[in-house]
Amino acid sequence: MAAAVIDIDLSNDLEDVTDLDRYTDAYVLVRFHGRPVGHFWTQVRNARVPAGELSREGLKAALPALSRQWLERQLRWTSPRTRPLPSATVAICTRERPDDLARALRAVTRMAGREHAVIVVDNRPSNDATAQVVAAHPHVRYIREDTRGLNAARNRALREAATDIVAFCDDDATPEDGWIEALREAFDHRLMACATGLTLPLELETPAQEWFERSSPFGRGYFRHEFDPLHCSPQSAGQVGAGANMAIRRDAVAVAGPFDERLDAGTPTRSGGDHEMFARLLAHGYRLVYEPAAVSWHRHRRTWPELRDTIEGYGTGVYAMWTGRVIEHGELAVLKQAVRWFVGVQLPQLAKALAGRPDAMPRDLALAELAGCAKGPLAWIASARTRRAPRAA
C-alpha cells in the first residue's frame, strides 16, 4: 500500500489527477493563493482522483482556515510590522545521510540564495561523505562537531552563527521557497524566542510512512498559534511544534541556556531536546509561535522497523525529559502529567491494540512506545553522568 501526495490550489482551475496506478489512497494538501489551508485523505479509484472530488473535499478542508483569514481581514486584527526582520542563518545538523542532505541543500540554497548564511554541522562523522556533499555548494559552510548528539550540533550552530536567529532544517527535510522569510516574519515581538513551522510528508510510499502521518504528524494545523507562559505551561510545550522545522533567537538562548546535550539523538535519551528547549524558554517568560506559512516537507522513516524504533525513541525522550525536570527543578506537576498520559492515553491505546481493534495503534508500536517510556528515567540518568546541564552565558 502507498498513498500519493497531491498538492492543489483552490485559486486555480483544478483537473483530474491521473496516473496513480501504484496508489490506493491520496493525501491532498489544499492551498489558497499558495498558502496551505488544509488537507484531506481520499481513496484512489481507477488510478485517478477526479477534479470534482478535489474541489468539493478541498473546500471542506480549507473552510476553517479561509474563514479565519477573511475574519481577520474584516476586523483588521493583523497590524503592519513595526520591527525590522531579524537576520537569519539556516543550519542543517546531520550525521552520515549524504543522500538526504543533498536534497535538503538543494532546496535550502535555492531558497536562501546568498542573502542568508547556510551552515552544515556534521556530527561526529566516520567518513567524508557529508563534506563532499557540502563541497558542491560553495556558499555553504561546513563545520565538524565531534561531541556526539543532535543537541551538541545545534549548540555548535548557535555558536557559529552571527545572526539574530538560527533556522534549523532537518537533513531529511525539504523547505519550500519562502520558508525562511515566514520564520523571520514570526519574530514580531521582542519576547518571541522561537518559531516552528508546518511540516508535511514528502512521500507516503510505504505503510510505515502512511501510518506515521495519519497518527503522529509533525504539523500542528493551519492556524498561527502563539504560546506564552501565562496560558501555556512548560509541561505542555510539545504542542508548539517539532525541531525538524524551527528557528531560535540567539539572545534568548544566551538567557535561557543552550540546548540540553543530555537529550536527543546520539545520546541514551534519543529524543526530547527540542521540546525541552521550548519548555525552558516558556519558563523564562518568552513567547513561542507556530507559523504554518513556514512550510517544510519531511521524509518519514520508510520501513516498519525504523518506524518502531522511532516511536520507542519518542517515548524514551519524553520520559527522560520529564525525569530531568523533576530531579533538577522539582517540577512535581510533571508527575501528574505523566500519570495522566499513561492512564488516559497509553493504557487505553494498548488495550485497543491488544484487542485487535481496527482503529487501534498497531500492537508492536504500542508496546514499543511503552518500552521506550520505561527506559526514559534510566536513560536520562545515564546521559547526565557524562554531560553537564545547560548553562546560560
Predicted confidence (pLDDT) per residue in 200-214, tens digit: 999 999 999 999 999
- 348 CB-near residues (< 8 Å, 6+ apart): none
Give yes or no for residue 141 having a pLDDT over 90. Answer: yes
Q: pLDDT per residue over 228-247, tens digit each? A: 988 888 877 889 999 999 99
Average of per-residue pLDDT across 325-353: 89
Q: What is the pLDDT of residues 176-228, one digit of tens each?
A: 999 999 999 999 889 999 999 999 999 999 999 999 999 889 999 999 999 99
Q: Is the pLDDT of residue 29 over 90?
A: yes
Computed over every residue of the chain, the mean pLDDT equals 94
Domain borders along the chain are 3-75, 88-298, 304-384
Distances (CA, A) of 175 to 138, 180, 339: 20, 8, 37
**Interatomic CA distance for residues 7 and 39, integer angstroms:** 9
Rounded mean pLDDT, 102-114: 93
CATH of domain 88-298: 3.90.550.10
Residue 272 grid coordinates: 526530547
Q: How many Å separate Cα 299 from the centre of its chain? A: 11
The pLDDT score that the predictor gives to residue 231 is: 85
Kindly state the average pLDDT of the residues 130-140. 97
